Structure 1
Amino acid sequence: MSRSVTGGCRCGAVRYDLTPDRLPPVYCCHCRDCQTWSGSAFVEQAVVPANALSITKGAPTEQAFTTPIGVISRQFGCPACFSRLYTASPSRPGMLTLRAGTLDASDAVMPIAHIWTKRMQRWITLPDGVPAFAENAPADAFAAILSRAVRGEAT
């Protein structure tokens, strides 16, 4: 039997289990939207299958957000402390974008890529060997990076 990866909001009102038995690959986005939404320099995210996430305590609140290009992004977070937990978007059917900072083991993740580095704060230094893209990574390059990470291969 595999163990699950756990996480939740800041106040503990909403908790989740994420399978499989290891932390998902995480990437960092340095775009202005992510800076504003997180209130920080960037956001760490993991793309995970929707059926891999199980809410074990509480119920996240959903808020729809329409992007500038008209895509409706569904944001899910804690109704008590307002921590954003994950996003569902029609651009990634069957997948969720999990906020990696909500993982209980968030200190154990190591980003596999950085996107929107042209908006990156000047004081941030990226590690050597980690792919970085000035804007969004090309879909095929990003898929290959994720695939290698899921298989446990170096980027």
Structure 2
Amino acid sequence: MNTITGGCRCGQVRYVLTVDKLPRSYACHCLDCQTWTGVAFSQSCVFPGDVLSVSGDVAIYELAGSAGRVSRQRICPTCHTRVYNTNTGHRFTVLRAGTLDRSDELDCVAHMWTRRKQAWIALPPDIPTWHEGPGSFDELARALGLTR
């Protein structure tokens, strides 16, 4: 197993992923992600939670979704970088791709909520896209090469 590292902007929160390789990422173009990040989309990686080891204190912000699922966002309490989240709807951890030390090496292999994407963004024709969210988390997991 390799270790892949990352953390928040100020360095108070650091993490180690114990995985075979750098995870694949996806982009979400929904209005919530645009508002939360202040940019055109968010880029995230998904993996089983037991491969993540975090050092440093995190603040937790809970967000209830329309389907009754609760997203627990982990944020650095100093610089307010949103680092990762979990969701009661699945057993995976969602990591903010830009917090990886090697984020420049990531492969973005899927796009969701493309009906909200900015018009100037051109998506590659050969990767999975969803007009809104995937029909199930399993669809996204397959696109990312995860097994459930």
TM-score, with structure 1 as normaliser: 0.87
Among residues 100, 103, 125, which one is paired with 2:122 in the alignment?
125
Shift of 1:69: 3.5
User: 1: CA distance between counterparts of 2:111 and 2:30?
Assistant: 10
5+ residue gaps in structure 2?
none
Unaligned runs of 5+ in 1: none
Whether contact under 8 Å (2:64, 2:71) holds in the other structure is yes
Q: State how far apart, in whole Å, the 2-side matches of 1:11 and 1:141 are.
A: 35
Q: By how many angstroms is 1:77 displaced?
A: 1.1
Residues in 1 aligned to 2:20 and 2:95: alpha-carbon distance in whole angstroms: 16
CA RMSD of aligned residues (A): 1.6
Partners of 1:33 and 1:91 lie apart in 2 by 18
Assess if the C-alpha contact under 8 Å between 2:28 and 2:113 holds in 1. Answer: yes
The 2-side partners of 1:53 and 1:144 are apart by 21
Bigger proportion of residues as strand: 2
The answer to whether the 8 A contact 2:74-2:84 is kept is: yes
Counterpart of 1:144? 142
Aligned identity (percent) is 45
Q: How does 1:47-62 map to 2 (within 5 A)?
A: 47-55=46-54, 57-62=55-60
Letter aligned with residue 101 of structure 1: G
User: TM-score if structure 2 supplies the norm length?
Assistant: 0.91
Q: What is the aligned partner in structure 2 of residue 17 from structure 1?
A: 16
Say which SS state the counterpart of residue 63 (structure 1) adopts: strand
Q: Within 1, Cα distance between the matches of 2:31 and 2:53?
A: 30
Alignment of 1:1-155 (within 5 A): 2-55=1-54, 57-93=55-91, 95-139=92-136, 140-147=138-145
Could you tell me how far 1:42 is from its partner in structure 2? 0.4
Aligned residues: 146
Residue-by-residue CA offset, 1:64-93 (whole Å, 9 max, x unaligned): 112233322111010100000111111012
Shift of 1:127: 1.9
Q: Is the 8 A contact 1:5 1:21 kept in 2?
A: no
Q: Which amino acid aligns with 1:76?
A: R
